């Protein structure tokens, strides 16, 4: 393709700070999401290591109870909202236009705005550690504990404002991506030819679009309860703490699928490539993903079995929760069917993908267990639940993200991550994760509650706690190996060809890394596996017409400016209302500048 | 894609002109007036609520379908909007049902309150108390 | 803001619709859940107030009906503005936009008056569950009206410029209209569910 470059507009290759700050290129935005998401992943990991260090031995004295509460709250918030979600968004930003054969997303500036608002919210939430203490009411912030009376510090206010800002960012990104998938597909790319990763992310976007407004309302009510004298969640004044739980879980259960579905999509891309055969049961996997999402809106009360729901709701939510195992099982069998009879090529990406299936299945099985209210009553708030969520989120979501990193790294940078270090990285994470989280099943069943900062030594929990802590350090070493691999690889010469893995999807039809305009010629899609179809039928990629002008959206600083306005808005709510006013003025000014800015 | 042809095509999106819009508005106004009158009719709560909800549904559909041109636009808009609307309605009806079937555990719930006069002065003081306002 | 994001490059519309209209419709689907949550909070707290005043103590149905008519009228003028924009009648569009803005301001005026009166009758955010859920619900509806006024005002000022709203005037006004009508249908629901049903 390099030969054709002369016919195209000179691509601006310089990479100054200003080009990054004003970029509207989905690939640069994806890279920024990826780097910041991974940085927060490291922060969340350090928080987890501190927690595990404190719990390594009975009566630990490393940190005090107050700091411990902040750490487990921020560990959850960081991993969910600042690490896993942006890492999924990173891949989607980078590959959505490439995989559907578009030059960019539908609204490039809105895309940049989503990132800057995300960064504003993430920095605001994390800065709470410095300014008077982090949120310490759990990531669920159950009322009435979250009331001003019981948690008087500013931590919970950081939680409310931070999540409102992050939610705004996710909503804007999801709207943008949903429009892009629906309306920007290349010729021939029908909905049932979309790569599974795109399908799963589309489902994720709709989950967010439809669940974020509910948590927004709940957060607004909490904000009003804490600052403007309402009593939505104060039982002594007629309020109802259970309302918070309902609104929170109407959002937060779909949120769980927001975290896992991207990884399911990534694995569905990786498996066929390295098994050298098309994905088994494409439509079943797609419909299973949609079914998980729809059912996911009808199960939220299974988080609340112990709040005293009536019998009928218990039965209904128990049944709908168990029903989710069906589409999930369909996916797992389809992945196994993809592997079956394939000529499997095992590299690091494939290791992570296969590990995903195994570990996610374990997490899924323990999940079905607490779909049963009596069982759940035993397991509620014990380490059994901690074990379950970490098998799903670390063994599932994070393993899928690592599979995606190793799989797409050559496309994004033109370089291959080192395979030897990669396999070391894999085994350290795989072994470390099982040593850390499997004993938590035992701890939970022997009654160890979640979120306690210390425990006595005569309870029989000493051994497994020590084992879990050792495992968490192994995980830490595994992440360090990955970082070494990353920085070492980035010093190497880019050698990757367009399609080094022999993959089937459109992102591999362009150069590695892709040019700023993604494709010299918008590809035409004739099959679900377009590159394999073209290869088997001897169809050549069309050559670019000489002299064709490819229009790219110009850079803009208004998204950055508006992100700054949103940051001031949030800081103002937490400190001085004058800052809020300033933020509002900046936002209005940016909207105007944005609207009047020429885009062509 | 935003050519003149596109704009012209848009103009054909809705066949209605000012005359039709006036008629629709008048109908909506009459329905609102009927709703207003019904609320003074002294009907029992259940039939009254049913009637009112039906009438407001008529207004809702008329505005969405005709004023927002949903009837004349691509089906994809209808699908997107209805999906959100139906899902939202279903979740929220379920939520309300969960609360209304549950025996109220909030203090004072479901009790008949004494008429306003007893509390009037007290609550006015509450409102005027600057500390309660902050 | 997204409304101004011009379609760029040579992309074609695989669903055959304008990106910006599609974005607005999906956004409105999201807004359904936002107002749905607020309305259900209001309904869940019905009968949970510990002290008066209750709705029957403060509601002034004739007055609210009047403001409902005003908002309905603004929907009518809004649809005329869209018609004017689509049929290249800029004068009609500007006048209708102006009328919509005035009607919206009157509606907000009614709401400010209503809040003030309720406050004088002893109902505020902290009084009881009715006060909290009522003010937050109608307050956020009012905020949406306010944002809509800023939006329409920007449209009107923009249309006064030499180039008007540019080549996509009809689409810009249509999107603003979608938002405005949605705010109106939310009020249709609030009027019935909150005010009229006892």
CATH number at residue C93: 1.20.120.80
CA–CA separation, A73 vs A236, rounded Å? Answer: 27
CA–CA separation, C75 vs C171, rounded Å? Answer: 17
Are the beta carbons of C5 and A110 separated by less than 8 Å?
yes
- A257 alpha-carbon distance from chain centroid: 10
In a domain, A543, yes or no: no
The two structure tokens encoding residue C156: 């009107």
- Exposure string (b/e) for B52-77, b if CB count within 10 Å is 16 or more? bbebbeebbebbbebbbbbeebbebb
The pLDDT score that the predictor gives to residue A13 is: 55
- Statement: residue A62 has pLDDT above 50: yes
CA distance A225 to chain B (A): 12
A125 or C161, which is more confident = A125
A574 or B9, which is more confident = A574
Mean per-residue pLDDT, B33-49: 89
CA distance B34 to chain A (A): 33
Mean per-residue pLDDT, A562-569: 94
Whether chain C has a CB inside 8 Å of the CB on B71: the answer is no
Catalytic residue, candidates A22, A73, A78, A169: A169
- A126 alpha-carbon distance from chain centroid: 17
- The residue out of A330, A345, A360 marking a domain boundary is A345
Are the beta carbons of B88 and C39 separated by less than 8 Å?
no
- Statement: residue A2 has pLDDT above 70: no
Whether chain B has a CB inside 8 Å of the CB on C53: the answer is yes
Average pLDDT, whole number, for chain A?
92
The two structure tokens encoding residue C27: 């956004």
- Statement: residue A386 has pLDDT above 60: yes
The pLDDT score that the predictor gives to residue B103 is: 52
- C82 alpha-carbon distance from chain centroid: 16
In a domain, C2, yes or no: no
Task: For residue A185, indicate whether it is catalytic.
Answer: no
- Statement: residue A332 has pLDDT above 90: yes
Nearest to C1 among A104, A221, A594 (CB): A594
Specify the 3-state DSSP secondary structure of A60.
Answer: coil
The pLDDT score that the predictor gives to residue C12 is: 63
The pLDDT score that the predictor gives to residue A168 is: 95
**Which of chain B's residues have a Cβ under 8 Å away from the Cβ of C21?**
73, 77
Comparing A2-6, A175-179, A546-550, the range with the smallest average pLDDT is A2-6
Q: Which residues have C-beta within 8 Å of that of residue A76, sequence separation ≥ 6?
A: A138, A139
Task: For residue A537, indicate whether it is catalytic.
Answer: no
Task: Judge contact between B28 and B63, C-beta under 8 A.
Answer: yes
In a domain, C6, yes or no: no
**Which of chain B's residues have a Cβ under 8 Å away from the Cβ of C120?**
124, 127
In a domain, A360, yes or no: no
The pLDDT score that the predictor gives to residue B112 is: 62
Q: Which residues have C-beta within 8 Å of that of residue C106, sequence separation ≥ 6?
A: C67, C70
Same domain, A398 and A530: no
Nearest to B95 among A182, A246, A308 (CB): A246
Mutant choice from A174, A246, A302 vs B, greatest count of B C-beta within 10 A: A246
Mean per-residue pLDDT, C168-172: 85
Whether chain C has a CB inside 8 Å of the CB on B133: the answer is yes
Same domain, A22 and A164: yes
Q: Which residues have C-beta within 8 Å of that of residue B60, sequence separation ≥ 6?
A: C185, C188, C189
Nearest to C8 among A209, A232, A599 (CB): A599
Average pLDDT, whole number, for chain C?
88
CA distance B110 to chain A (A): 10
Are the beta carbons of A213 and C26 separated by less than 8 Å?
no
pLDDT-derived band at C169, boundaries 50, 70, 90: confident
Which of A529, A537, A496, A539 lies closest to A276 in space, CA to CA? A529
Q: What is the CA radius of gyration of chain C?
A: 19
Mutant choice from B46, B65, B88 vs C, greatest count of C C-beta within 10 A: B88
In a domain, C5, yes or no: no
Which of A118, A101, A111, A116 lies closest to A27 in space, CA to CA? A111
The pLDDT score that the predictor gives to residue C63 is: 93
**Which of chain B's residues have a Cβ under 8 Å away from the Cβ of C70?**
none
Same domain, A147 and A29: yes
Mean per-residue pLDDT, A26-34: 95
The pLDDT score that the predictor gives to residue C168 is: 81
The sign of the dihedral angle between the CA atoms of C161, B4, A109, A557 is negative
Q: Which residues pair with A567 in a beta bridge?
A: none
**Which of chain C's residues have a Cβ under 8 Å away from the Cβ of A182?**
14-15, 22
* Cα distance from N-terminal residue to C-terminal residue, chain A: 26
**Which of chain B's residues have a Cβ under 8 Å away from the Cβ of A297?**
87, 91
CA–CA separation, A580 vs A586, rounded Å? Answer: 10
Angstrom distances, CA of residue A287 to CA of A205, A282, A340, A356: 16, 9, 21, 20
- Statement: residue B114 has pLDDT above 90: no
Nearest to C37 among A213, A588, A596 (CB): A213
- Statement: residue B7 has pLDDT above 60: no
In a domain, A2, yes or no: no
Q: Side-chain half-sphere of A69: how many Cα atoms within 13 Å?
A: 16
Are the beta carbons of C9 and A240 separated by less than 8 Å?
no
- Statement: residue B129 has pLDDT above 80: no
- C107 alpha-carbon distance from chain centroid: 10
CA–CA separation, A236 vs A238, rounded Å? Answer: 6
Q: How many other CB atoms are there within 10 angstroms of residue B125's CB atom?
A: 11
The pLDDT score that the predictor gives to residue B115 is: 62
- Exposure string (b/e) for A71-89, b if CB count within 10 Å is 16 or more? bbbbbbbbbbbbbbbbbbb
Find the Cα–Cα–Cα–Cα dihedral B69, B74, B75, B81, rounded to 10°: -60
- The residue out of A345, A363, A389 marking a domain boundary is A345
Domain that holds residue C120: 17-196
The pLDDT score that the predictor gives to residue B107 is: 46
**Which of chain C's residues have a Cβ under 8 Å away from the Cβ of A186?**
14
Residue in A closest to B94 by C-alpha = A298
Domain of A95: which CATH number?
1.20.210.10
> Which 8-state DSSP code applies to residue A129?
G
Report pTM.
Answer: 0.91
Are the beta carbons of B98 and A209 separated by less than 8 Å?
no
Task: For residue A556, indicate whether it is catalytic.
Answer: no
CB pairs < 8 Å spanning A and C: 143
Q: Enumerate residues 445 to 464 of chain A having a beta carbon within 8 A of any beta carbon in chain B.
A: none
Are the beta carbons of C86 and B36 separated by less than 8 Å?
no
Task: For residue A302, indicate whether it is catalytic.
Answer: yes
Task: For residue A139, indicate whether it is catalytic.
Answer: yes
pLDDT-derived band at A18, boundaries 50, 70, 90: confident
Kindly report, residue by residue over A288-312, the tens digit of the pLDDT: 999 999 999 999 999 999 888 888 8
In a domain, A42, yes or no: yes
pLDDT-derived band at B3, boundaries 50, 70, 90: very low
Q: What angle do CA A434, A435, A440 make, to 5 degrees?
A: 90
Angstrom distances, CA of residue A349 to CA of A274, A354, A400, A425, C176: 9, 9, 9, 11, 47
The two structure tokens encoding residue A400: 């899928």
pLDDT-derived band at A570, boundaries 50, 70, 90: very high
Are the beta carbons of B123 and C26 separated by less than 8 Å?
no
In a domain, A364, yes or no: no
Are the beta carbons of C8 and A108 separated by less than 8 Å?
yes
Kindly report, residue by residue over C138-160, the tens digit of the pLDDT: 999 999 999 999 999 999 998 88
In a domain, A545, yes or no: no
Average pLDDT, whole number, for chain B?
75
pLDDT-derived band at A384, boundaries 50, 70, 90: very high
- Statement: residue A561 has pLDDT above 90: yes
Are the beta carbons of A240 and C48 separated by less than 8 Å?
yes
Same domain, A389 and A490: yes
In a domain, C8, yes or no: no
Same domain, A261 and A331: yes
- Exposure string (b/e) for A197-216, b if CB count within 10 Å is 16 or more? bbbbbbbbbbbbbbbbbbbb
Q: Enumerate residues 306 to 325 of chain A having a beta carbon within 8 A of any beta carbon in chain B.
A: 308-310, 312-313
The pLDDT score that the predictor gives to residue B119 is: 45
Same domain, A480 and A562: no
In a domain, A568, yes or no: yes
CA distance C169 to chain B (A): 9
Mean per-residue pLDDT, B86-112: 72
Supply the angle between the helices C61-86 and C169-190 in degrees, to the nearest 10: 160
**Which of chain C's residues have a Cβ under 8 Å away from the Cβ of A213?**
30-31, 33-34, 37
Domain count along chain A: 3
Are the beta carbons of C127 and B123 separated by less than 8 Å?
yes
CB pairs < 8 Å spanning A and B: 41
Please provide the size of chain C in residues. 198
- Statement: residue B134 has pLDDT above 80: no
Domain that holds residue A306: 195-345
The pLDDT score that the predictor gives to residue B102 is: 62
Q: What is the CA radius of gyration of chain B?
A: 23
Percentage of residues in chain A having pLDDT higher than 70: 97
Q: What angle do CA B115, B117, B123 make, to 5 degrees?
A: 105
Kindly report, residue by residue over A171-205, the tens digit of the pLDDT: 999 999 999 999 999 999 999 999 999 999 999 99
Task: For residue A328, indicate whether it is catalytic.
Answer: yes
Task: For residue A246, indicate whether it is catalytic.
Answer: no
The two structure tokens encoding residue C6: 């011009």
C11 or C43, which is more confident = C43
CA–CA separation, A413 vs A512, rounded Å? Answer: 7
- Statement: residue C92 has pLDDT above 60: yes
Same domain, A492 and A502: no
Domain count along chain C: 1
Q: Enumerate residues 123 to 142 of chain C having a beta carbon within 8 A of any beta carbon in chain B.
A: 123-124, 126-127
Whether chain C has a CB inside 8 Å of the CB on A40: the answer is no
CA–CA separation, B11 vs C84, rounded Å? Answer: 10
Catalytic residue, candidates A268, A366, A472, A556: A268
Q: Which residues pair with A449 in a beta bridge?
A: A382
In a domain, A4, yes or no: no
Are the beta carbons of C61 and B113 separated by less than 8 Å?
no
Task: Judge contact between A96 and A29, C-beta under 8 A.
Answer: no
Q: Which residues pair with A382 in a beta bridge?
A: A449
In a domain, C188, yes or no: yes
In a domain, C40, yes or no: yes
Instruction: Find chains touching chain A: ≥3 CB pairs under 8 Å.
Output: B, C
Give the range with max mean pLDDT: A28-37, A295-304, A532-541, B71-80.
Answer: A28-37
Task: Reply yes or no: is the peptide bond before residue B29 cis, omega within 30 of 0.
Answer: no
In a domain, C120, yes or no: yes
Mean per-residue pLDDT, C59-67: 92
Specify the 3-state DSSP secondary structure of A449.
Answer: strand
CA–CA separation, A76 vs A139, rounded Å? Answer: 6
Q: Enumerate residues 489 to 548 of chain A having a beta carbon within 8 A of any beta carbon in chain C.
A: 522
Q: Is B9 exposed, middle or buried (0-12, 13-18, 19+ CB in 10 A)?
A: exposed
CA–CA separation, A527 vs A531, rounded Å? Answer: 8
- A191 alpha-carbon distance from chain centroid: 23
In a domain, C36, yes or no: yes
Angstrom distances, CA of residue A390 to CA of A324, A364, A468, A499: 19, 11, 12, 34
Specify the 3-state DSSP secondary structure of A382.
Answer: strand
Backbone phi, then psi, for C119, in 5-degree steps? -60, -40
Kindly report, residue by residue over A435-485, the tens digit of the pLDDT: 999 999 999 999 999 999 999 998 999 999 999 999 999 999 999 999 999
Catalytic residue, candidates A136, A255, A376, A518: A255
Mutant choice from A108, A234, A595, A600 vs C, greatest count of C C-beta within 10 A: A595
Task: For residue A255, indicate whether it is catalytic.
Answer: yes
Percentage of residues in chain C having pLDDT higher than 70: 94
Helices (H), A184-240: 196-227
Kindly report, residue by residue over A251-294, the tens digit of the pLDDT: 999 999 999 999 999 999 999 999 999 999 999 999 999 999 99
């Amino acid at each position: 393709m390099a030969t054709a470059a002369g016919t195209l507009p000179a691509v601006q290759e310089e990479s100054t700070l200003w080009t990054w700050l004003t970029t509207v290129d989905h690939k640069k935005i994806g890279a920024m999401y990826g780097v910041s998401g991974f940085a927060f992943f490291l922060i969340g990991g350090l928080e987890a290591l501190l927690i595990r260090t404190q719990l390594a031995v009975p009566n630990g004295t490393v940190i005090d109870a107050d700091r411990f509460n902040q750490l487990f709250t921020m560990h959850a918030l960081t991993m969910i909202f600042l690490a896993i979600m942006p890492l999924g968004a990173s891949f989607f930003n980078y590959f959505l236009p490439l995989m559907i054969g578009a030059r960019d997303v539908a609204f490039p500036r809105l895309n940049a705005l989503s990132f800057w608002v995300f960064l504003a919210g993430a920095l605001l939430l994390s800065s709470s550690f410095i300014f008077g203490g982090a949120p310490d009411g759990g990531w669920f912030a159950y009322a009435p504990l979250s009331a001003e009376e019981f948690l008087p510090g500013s931590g919970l206010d950081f939680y409310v404002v931070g999540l409102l800002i992050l939610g705004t960012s996710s909503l804007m990104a999801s709207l943008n991506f949903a429009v892009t998938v629906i309306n920007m597909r290349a010729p021939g790319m029908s909905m049932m030819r979309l790569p599974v990763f795109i399908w799963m992310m589309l489902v994720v976007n709709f989950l967010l679009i439809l669940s974020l407004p509910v948590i927004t309302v709940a957060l607004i009510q909490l904000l009003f309860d804490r600052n403007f004298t309402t009593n939505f969640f104060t039982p002594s004044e007629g309020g109802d703490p259970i309302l918070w739980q309902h609104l929170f879980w109407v959002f937060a259960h779909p949120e769980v699928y927001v975290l896992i579905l991207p990884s399911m999509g990534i694995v569905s891309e990786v498996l066929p490539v390295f098994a050298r055969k098309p994905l088994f049961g494409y439509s079943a996997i797609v419909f299973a993903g949609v079914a998980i999402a729809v059912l996911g809106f009808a199960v939220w009360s299974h988080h609340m079995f112990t709040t005293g729901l009536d019998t009928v709701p218990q039965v209904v939510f128990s049944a709908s929760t168990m029903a989710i195992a069906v589409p999930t099982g369909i996916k797992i069998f389809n992945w196994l069917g993809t592997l079956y009879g394939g000529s499997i090529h095992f590299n690091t990406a494939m290791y992570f993908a296969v590990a995903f299936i195994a570990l996610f299945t374990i997490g899924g099985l323990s999940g079905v267990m607490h779909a049963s209210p009596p069982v759940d009553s035993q397991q509620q708030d014990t380490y059994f639940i901690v074990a379950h969520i970490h098998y799903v989120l670390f063994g599932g979501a994070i393993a899928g993200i690592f599979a995606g990193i190793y799989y797409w790294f050559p496309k994004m940078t033109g370089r291959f991550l080192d395979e030897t270090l990669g396999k070391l990285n894999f085994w350290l994470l795989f072994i470390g994760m099982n040593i850390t989280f499997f004993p938590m099943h035992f701890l939970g069943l022997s009654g160890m509650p979640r979120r306690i900062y210390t425990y006595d030594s005569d309870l029989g929990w000493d051994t497994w706690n020590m084992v879990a802590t050792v495992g968490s350090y192994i995980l830490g070493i595994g992440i360090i190996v990955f970082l070494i691999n990353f920085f070492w690889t980035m010093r190497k010469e880019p050698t990757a060809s367009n399609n080094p893995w022999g993959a089937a999807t459109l992102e591999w039809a362009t150069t590695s890394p892709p040019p700023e305009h993604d494709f010299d010629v918008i590809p035409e899609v004739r099959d679900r596996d377009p590159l394999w179809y073209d290869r088997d039928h001897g169809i050549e990629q069309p050559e670019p017409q000489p002299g064709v002008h490819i229009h790219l959206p110009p850079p803009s600083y208004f998204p950055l400016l508006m992100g700054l306005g949103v940051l001031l808005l949030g800081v103002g709510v937490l400190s001085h209302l004058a800052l809020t006013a300033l933020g509002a003025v900046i936002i209005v000014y940016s909207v105007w500048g944005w609207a009047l800015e020429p885009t062509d | 894609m935003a050519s003149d042809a596109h704009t012209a095509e848009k103009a054909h999106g809705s066949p209605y002109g000012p005359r039709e819009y006036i008629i629709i508005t008048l109908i909506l106004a009459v329905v609102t007036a009927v709703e207003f009158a019904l609320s003074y009719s002294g009907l029992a709560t259940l039939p009254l609520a049913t009637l009112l909800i039906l009438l407001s549904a008529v207004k809702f559909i008329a505005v969405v379908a005709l004023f927002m041109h949903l009837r004349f636009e691509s089906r994809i808009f209808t699908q997107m909007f209805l999906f959100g609307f139906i899902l939202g309605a279903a979740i929220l009806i379920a939520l309300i049902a969960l609360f209304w079937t549950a025996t109220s555990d909030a203090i004072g719930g479901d009790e008949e309150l004494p008429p306003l006069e007893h509390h009037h002065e007290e609550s006015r003081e509450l409102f005027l108390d600057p500390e309660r306002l902050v | 803001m997204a409304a101004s994001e011009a379609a760029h490059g040579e992309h074609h519309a695989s669903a055959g619709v304008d990106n910006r209209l599609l974005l607005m419709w999906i956004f409105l689907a999201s807004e359904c859940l936002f107002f749905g949550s607020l309305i259900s909070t209001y309904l869940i707290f019905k009968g949970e107030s510990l002290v008066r005043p209750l709705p029957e103590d403060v509601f002034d149905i004739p007055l609210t009906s009047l403001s409902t008519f005003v908002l309905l009228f603004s929907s009518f003028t809004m649809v005329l503005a869209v018609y004017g924009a689509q049929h290249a009648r800029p004068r009609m569009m500007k006048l209708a936009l102006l009328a919509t803005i005035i009607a919206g301001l009157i509606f907000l005026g009614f709401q400010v008056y209503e809040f003030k009166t309720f406050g004088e009758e002893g109902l505020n955010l902290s009084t009881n569950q009715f006060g909290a859920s009522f003010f937050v619900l109608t307050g956020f509806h009012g905020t949406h009206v306010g944002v809509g006024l800023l939006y329409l005002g920007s449209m009107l000022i923009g249309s006064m410029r030499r180039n008007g709203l540019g080549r996509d005037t009809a689409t810009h006004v249509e999107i603003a209209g979608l938002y405005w009508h949605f705010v109106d249908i939310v009020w249709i629901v609030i009027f019935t569910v909150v005010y009229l049903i006892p």
